[in-house]
Amino acid sequence: MEIPQDIKNKIMVREDYLEWLEKEPVVFVYLDLTNMFHWQDVLGWKFRIEDLIEQLKTYKNIQEIKVYYGLNTRDLKNSKAFHKRILKTGAILKTKPMKYIPKTIKEGMFFQRKTMTLFDDGVKSKIEELVDELHKPGILIEEPKCNFDVEMTMDILDDAKKFSAVILFSGDSDMQGPLQRLKIENKKIGICGVRNQVAEELHKIKDKYFDFGRLYTGKRNYEPKSENPAKAGPRD
């Protein structure tokens, strides 16, 4: 039997989160989905974007939800299917094709520069040998990239006259600029994220911080599957 959302709220969502949402007359939500997928590694479980959106829609003061996520042209069928799942919820989807950035295999892929200084010459030599061996097969490593900071900034500023508060599901410090503009206009700012994944600049400017794990009431998948279509196809 499906548990009603109001019951889930009472047993799963922090009371102060609900109070903040109820106090603001008009709330717009912006979800940087690529940023959010990285949260899953910290949380130890995978979330369902549909469940999150459906939950947010039950809060009467949230009047618009925008999701930003790229289109994987190398796995077009699965990527489009994932987009359809988002659109089916009634959320607004902003998308563009993902780019793939070539990555050079080097020590920095395995260890930070500060960490490298802790190793003696023998260990450093072994690491260099490993990197040399990895170069021999001629393997091309590419990183999918699709940044929506500009699009989110433009939308937030364009929408500013329509809302009293925003909730940004992102930890990216680049969003500090548009949020500062909102503060000047006396808009309230909510930031949703997970531990160690939200930039200090956003913490300083926020009015309310939402811990994603204490807000989300949907299904949690603890199996080692990726929900990210940039890495694999969408999951049921």
Specify whether the CB–CB gap between 170 and 212 falls below 8 A. no
With respect to residue 231, please indicate whether it lies within any of the assigned structural domains. Answer: no
Q: Do 153 and 129 belong to one domain?
A: no
pLDDT of residue 235: 40
Instruction: Judge if 208 and 179 occupy the same domain.
Output: yes
Structure tokens at 96: 């563009």
DSSP state of 156: H
Q: Name the amino acid, one letter, at 45.
A: W
- Asked whether residue 21 falls in the same domain as residue 135, the answer is no
State which residues form the domain around 116.
102-141
pLDDT of residue 195: 93
Number of domain units in the chain: 2
Torsion sign across C-alpha atoms 179, 199, 65, 72: positive
200 residue type, one letter: E
What pTM did the predictor assign? 0.80
Cβ contacts of 230 within 8 Å, gap of 6 or more: 34, 70, 72, 98, 144, 146
**What sign results for the dihedral spanned by CA atoms 114, 115, 120, 122?**
negative
Let me know whether 12 and 108 are in one domain: no
Question: 233 lies in a domain?
Answer: no
pLDDT digits 0-9 by tens, 112-153: 777 878 888 888 788 777 767 776 776 767 777 788 999 999
- pLDDT in the model for residue 99: 86
Which pLDDT value is given to residue 210?
A: 98
Tell me, yes or no, whether 124 and 79 share the same domain. Answer: no
Whole-number pLDDT of residue 233: 41
Q: What is the C-alpha to C-alpha distance for residues 189 and 168, in angstroms, rounded to an integer? A: 8
Q: Per-residue b/e over 215-230, b at no fewer than 16 CB within 10 Å?
A: bbbbeeeeeeeebbbb
Asked if residue 134 and residue 24 are part of one domain, the reply reads: no
Q: How far apart are CA 119 and CA 115, in angstroms?
A: 7
Instruction: Please list the ranges in the chain whose pLDDT falls under 70.
Output: 108-109, 131, 135, 138, 140, 224-236
> Are both 94 and 106 inside the same structural domain?
no
Strands 220-221 and 46-47: antiparallel
Q: pLDDT by residue (tens digit) across 90-108?
A: 999 999 999 887 777 777 6
DSSP states of 143-177: EEE---HHHHHHHHHHHGGG-SEEEEE---GGGHH
H-only helix segments in 89-120: 113-116
